Amino acid sequence: MGATEHGLDSETPVGAGRAAGAVSHVAPADRDLAYDADAGQIRLPVTVHFTDGTTEKTVLRLGPGRVELFAVQIEQAIARRAKAQRAMPE
């Protein structure tokens, strides 16, 4: 697979040959992430959503430093969500 400077893998760069439709957002795909021991990276399947309503599936590659940073940030976000939920009146 080819790789882009953004860490996304696909046979064709995301959006290549598109006449219209900028990227709206990228969301995790309904698949498990995988560890690529040879590359030392986590590979997270994602779906790229375009403003024209189309989508493309690709893979987000994350190196060890980025994975560790995301792990800390996700843990902090989960703790903030739990705190906010506890503070909400029933």
Pairing between β-strand 2-3 and β-strand 8-10 as defined by DSSP bridges: antiparallel
Say whether pTM exceeds 0.85: no
* pLDDT tens-digit series, residues 42-66: 999 999 999 999 999 999 999 999 9
37/86 Cα distance (integer angstroms) = 40
Q: Where are the domains of the chain?
A: 2-63
Among positive and negative, which fits the CA dihedral 43, 35, 70, 3? negative
**The predicted structure's pLDDT at residue 90:** 72
* pLDDT tens-digit series, residues 8-54: 554 455 556 555 579 999 999 988 999 999 989 999 999 999 999 99
